[in-house]
Structure 1
Amino acid sequence: MTTCPFNPAEDGAQMAFDGRMSYGDYLRIDQILDAQAMLTPAHDEMLFIIQHQTSELWMRLALHELDAARRKIAADTPHEAFKMLARIARIFEQLNSAWDVLRTMTPSDYSTFRAGLGQSSGFQSWQYRLIEYAVGNRNLAMLKPHAHRPDLTARLEAELARPSLYDEALRHLARHGLPVPEAVLTRDLRAPWVHDAGVLAAWEIVYRDPQKHWAAYELAEKLVDFEDYFRRWRFNHLTTVERVIGFKRGTGGTSGVAYLRRMLDIQLFPELWALRTTL
């Protein structure tokens, strides 16, 4: 039996967009799809560009959520931040899945366009740097790759002057009577985080009686959930790089795999991981 093709207009769908906003207009699809400027004739360069451009879009959303979550925690409404923190973790789950697509590129494929990248490298991503600064990994040496852009340097410096996500969480604990050391609350915000026994003790109080400190307990688990996905992202980055270029130096001059292995050792919220042992 044959049937006539379904006409969406008969169901009320809008079909005419002369002078009206369409899907493509709203999302600026033309501008997005014009942004893949390949520099070589290599087939796999398109994959490489789209992988990194979509990652930057997800990072933009992560920064949007991080900004809002910190404001909610600072206002002592952490329950309103929980959905945002959960969303950030899911964003990094998406970023993790993207490595699976990139890993379909073989060393031979990559070699066909790698020279065209010049000195560009993922570690130069200013959005990724903002995420690290926002959550507490404040390595001032990483300002240098952005020194040629005063606008980006200003954004990164503004982030360094602001309490990180972890700083805001600890300030929230202190305002609710938990013994976070004063030295931690008044610390130099630009300085890298250093494991603190007093902070560990404060979190232990929360975990030994989660019913009494439920909001702080749930906040802590949301932080751990995010870092779990974040660390997986770093690990997948490492294994993808090793699979594609082995132990060659990165295009940006780093030691490549060796550099990424060092990044695996960095913990964003070390006391929340340490208490798993001390409880």
Structure 2
Amino acid sequence: MSTHSKTQPRPYKPMSEEDRRKQMEESNGEPVLDFSTGRVNENSTPYIDYHSVDVLLSLQHPRSDEPAEWPFYITGQIQELLFKLMFTEVNRVRDFLFEDRLDEAIWYLRRIERVQRVLTATWEPISTITPTEFAGFRNELGTASGFQSYMYRQLEFSLGHKVRRMAEAYRSVDWLYTQVTETLEAPSLYDAVLSLLRRRGMDIPEECVTRDFAEPYEPHPAVEAAWAEIYTSPREHHELYVFAEALSELNFQYSRWRTTHFLAVERIMGYKPGTGGTLGVEWLRRVAEHRFFPELWSVRTEL
């Protein structure tokens, strides 16, 4: 679950509730404006240090004079941070499931759904870019394309969309290829789901839970039958029923993000080829048709 990041040192010591009460009394409830006491970095404040704001705001380097490149550039960076957050939370849910902590898994799925809504909303600033504005900086992208995002690729792998060849985009960067490959070969969220269902007494075949996790998952009729049993007996399987709908919501919100993506691109650049060698909008349209947790989706037709 590595994201190739390290814990940062603490320039300012942590505060207790008693420390905060004392500070409030000394400031008469007004904001503290003097941070000289105990300061390690004279060019910083506690907030800057905690969020690494000075580093974060120094990472924007548009390559053209076109003003519309700014929303494109910054929104892309915001999406990368949200991919990292989702990847972290999805893997947390997966681990809860392997530990039979279903109630906690459901709670964290609630947080993931909120993150997904924010992620989808990030297309709003980009959708304001006109074709003429985009043409003003598109050439500066070279062969850079969103599908090369390693956080997005790891997120897709962690949710169960395993495509080994997609890891090849990172082979030239040793640490990154190792990281992405580890995610590819690890159990996905859906692998953990099926393992949980089997332990809870559902008729999940052994072949569905003991397999090569780097290979694409093949839907199985017995798994669809298990979901059908849960949906047709919601009182008997109440917790699993609630869990099924939480997974369905994750799937729904992810599909909304993908669909909004291809609509935004279609609006901005039409049917031009993508910068990364794809068909552009047509490629995104096909990607948007993919669904995670396949039997959970297909069972709806049978109910």
Structure 1 position 123 matched with structure 2 position 147:
yes
Matches within 5 A, 1:238-253: 238-253=262-277
Q: Which residue of 2 aligns with 1:5?
A: none
Q: Which residue of 2 aligns with 1:209?
A: 233
- Counterpart selection for 1:11 from 29, 42, 49: 29
Structure 1 position 260 matched with structure 2 position 278:
no
- Counterpart selection for 2:249 from 221, 225, 231: 225
Give the Cα–Cα distance (whole angstroms) in 1 for the partners of residues 87 and 190 of structure 2.
15
SS in 2 for 1:243: helix
SS in 2 for 1:11: coil
Q: Which residue of 1 aligns with 2:47?
A: 23
Cα displacement (A) at 1:11: 2.2
Deviates more, 1:185-194 or 1:165-174: 185-194
SS in 1 for 2:122: helix
Give the Cα–Cα distance (whole angstroms) in 1 for the partners of residues 29 and 286 of structure 2.
58
Structure 1 position 33 matched with structure 2 position 33:
no
- Counterpart selection for 2:118 from 94, 113, 122: 94
**Structure 2 length-normalised TM:** 0.87
Structure 1 position 274 matched with structure 2 position 292:
no
Deviates more, 1:17-26 or 1:193-202: 17-26
Cα displacement (A) at 1:83: 2.0
Matches within 5 A, 1:153-168: 153-168=177-192
Q: Which residue of 1 aligns with 2:42?
A: none
Q: How many residues align?
A: 272
Give the Cα–Cα distance (whole angstroms) in 2 for the partners of residues 122 and 78 of structure 1.
34
- Counterpart selection for 2:94 from 48, 61, 70: 70
Deviates more, 1:13-22 or 1:263-272: 13-22
Q: Which residue of 2 aligns with 1:175?
A: 199
Letter in 1 for 2:118: Q
Cα displacement (A) at 1:176: 1.0
Cα displacement (A) at 1:257: 0.7
Give the Cα–Cα distance (whole angstroms) in 2 for the partners of residues 171 and 271 of structure 1.
15
Give the Cα–Cα distance (whole angstroms) in 2 for the partners of residues 83 and 228 of structure 1.
17
Q: Which runs of 4+ in 1 moved over 6 A?
A: none
Tell me: higher relative CO, structure 1 or 2? Use CA pairs within 8 A at least 6 residues apart.
1
Give the Cα–Cα distance (whole angstroms) in 2 for the partners of residues 139 and 215 of structure 1.
32
Q: Which residue of 1 aligns with 2:17?
A: none
Give the Cα–Cα distance (whole angstroms) in 1 for the partners of residues 272 and 189 of structure 2.
35
Identity across the alignment (%): 37
Q: Which residue of 1 aligns with 2:18?
A: none
Give the Cα–Cα distance (whole angstroms) in 1 for the partners of residues 112 and 85 of structure 2.
8
Deviates more, 1:218-227 or 1:127-136: 218-227
Could you tell me which runs of 5 or more consecutive residues in structure 2 were left unpaired when the two chains were aligned: 1-26, 40-44
Give the Cα–Cα distance (whole angstroms) in 2 for the partners of residues 103 and 68 of structure 1.
32
Give the Cα–Cα distance (whole angstroms) in 2 for the partners of residues 194 and 257 of structure 1.
27
Deviations 1:120-144 (A, max 9, x none): 0100000000011001000112112
Could you tell me which runs of 5 or more consecutive residues in structure 1 were left unpaired when the two chains were aligned: 1-8
Give the Cα–Cα distance (whole angstroms) in 2 for the partners of residues 264 and 40 of structure 1.
31
